[in-house]
Chains A and B, each alone.
Chain A
Amino acid sequence: MRRLVGACLILTAVLASSATAETSAASLPDDIRTYRPAPGDAENFWRYFFFWKRGVTQEMARKDLLECAAYSHGPVLWARVPERMPIGEDVKGPNGTEGGYGLVGAAIFSLVEGGLVQRIALANMRRCMGFKEYGRYGLSSALWRSLNAGTPDKTIDQLAIVAAGADPSQPKGLAP
C-alpha cells in the first residue's frame, strides 16, 4: 500500500513538473554525460537509465525509441493466448509506423515505481533497445526524472538527443 501511495505521489509530481518545469533539451546531454553514480544509485539502474549509441542520428534514435516504446506499450501480466492473429487495432507495429504513440510515453517513460506490469514494460524497452545495439547507462532518479519529464513527445525528443549525443562518461554500458 505504501508503495502504491508512493507511486501515486511521484506520478503526480512528475505530471505536475511536466506542466511547469520542462527541462531544456539543449542542456541535457552535458548533465547526463557527466553523471557519476552516487552510492546506492546502481540498485535502481534497472529503471533509471538512458540509451546511447555511437554514430546514431537523433532522427534514427527517435524512430528506434518509438518502435521500442510500441513493443512495451500496455503490457498485460497474464496475457492469454488469443484465438487468432493479428489482434487489436491499437497494436503498434514495428518501426512505430502505425499511427502516433499516444500514451506510450506516459506508459513507458513515467514509470517510477515497481509492479510487475511496469517491470515488463521496462524490460521490453531495455531489451528492444539492446537488440538495436544501444548501450544502456544508469542515472540518478533526479536526473532520470528531469530527462523523462514533459509530454511524451518532448520526452522522446530528449531521449533521442541524449542517445545521439556526446559519449557518456560512464565507462561501460549495463546489461539489457
Chain B
Amino acid sequence: MKAAIALVSILMLSSQTSAEEARQVRQGQPVAVTSDLAYLLFREDPRQGPGDFEYVLARELQKTILPLDHVAAPPQFDAQASLIRTDARYPYVNDAGQKSYLLAVPPGVYSIVAVTYKRMPAIGTCLCMGTVRFEARAGMLNDLGYLLGAIEDKPSRLPELASYTGSLDWTHTTPALALMTVRPSTDEMGAPSSLRTLPRTRAKYAAAGKFPNYFRTMINRVPPIAGVLAYEGDRAINPQVPER
C-alpha cells in the first residue's frame, strides 16, 4: 500500500512539474526526489514581523557557481527560464509562527533578483546593484537557511538588517524600498520532519554582480554578508577569494 501511495505521489509530481517549470510546494503536497528537480527550503524569521516578504529568483545560464572570482560576475540570465516568485501565503510548514517554505525548481544556479512584500502585485525592489546566487542541486533538498526581508524606513528587529533600516525618512525610501538578506544554513537549523528522508545539502551562497534594472523599479542591493558578499564601492565582491 505504501508503495502504491509513493507511486501515485511521484506520478502526481511528474504531472505537475516539467523540467522547465518551478512551483511552490504547499503544506501536505507530495515531495519526492527526481533527477530533474531540486528542492529549495527556506525559513522566515518571525522577528521580521508581519512582513510577508516575497522573493524573486532567476535562473542563470551557468550550471555551477564555481570558480569564484574576487569581483563577482554579474548574472547571465537564462532567457528560457521562468522567473520564480515565492508566495508568502503558502508556507510548507507553519509551526506556531515558525514558517518554512519549499520550492521545487529545475536544477541550476539561481540569483535572488528582487524582494517585495505584502503580496503587492508588483516586483518591488530590484536587487540589481548586488545580490547573492546559489546552486540548486538536482535530487536534493537545498537548504537556503533563512531569507530575511525588511522595509528601509521601518526599524527591523533582525540583527542582519537592523543597521540598514529605520534611519531614512520617506523622502528617501518612497514609495517603499525593501531590502533583504540571507542567513545561510547551519547544522543547527532543523528541516521539517516530512523532509528528513530527502538527501539534504546546505546551499552555498556567492556574490553576484550588478545587472540592469530590467524591471524599471526601485533599486537596492543585498547588504554585505560575512564570508559571502562584500562591496568595493559599487562592485560586489566574493570576500573569501583574494584579489589577484
Residues of chain A having any CB pair with chain B under 8 Å: 46, 70-88, 91-94, 98, 116, 119-120, 123-124, 126-128, 131-133, 175-176
Contact = CB atoms under 8 A, between A and B. Distances in A.
A175 B172 contact: yes
Contacts of A175: 167-168, 172
Contacts of B82: 83-84
B77 interface: yes
A52 B201 CA distance: 47
A79 B211 CA distance: 17
A-side interface mostly:
loop
A79 B234 contact: no
Interface in B189-216: 209-216
A131 B214 contact: no
Interface in B43-89: 56, 58, 74, 77, 79-83, 85
A21 to B, nearest CB: 30
B221 interface: yes
A86 B215 contact: no
Interface in B18-61: 56, 58
A176 B58 contact: no
A74 B58 CA distance: 22
A83 B129 contact: no
A85 B234 contact: no
Given A80-B121, A123-B218, A94 B211 contact: yes
Interface residues of B, number: 43
Contacts of B130: 131
- Sorted nearest first, the 9 A-B pairs with minimum C-beta distance are A46-B171, A79-B217, A131-B234, A85-B77, A78-B122, A119-B174, A76-B216, A79-B215, A91-B212
Interface string B160-203: 00000001100111110100000000000000000000000000
Contacts of A81: 56, 83, 85, 114, 122-123, 215
Given A79-B217, A82-B83, 14 more contacts: A75-B218, A81-B83, A82-B215, A84-B80, A84-B82, A85-B77, A91-B213, A91-B214, A91-B216, A92-B212, A123-B177, A128-B219, A133-B234, A176-B168
A126 B58 CA distance: 26
B231 interface: yes
B242 interface: no
Contacts of B175: 77, 116, 119-120
A123 to B, nearest CB: 6
A79 B121 CA distance: 8
A127 B74 CA distance: 19
Given A78-B122, A85-B79, A128-B219, A93 B212 contact: yes
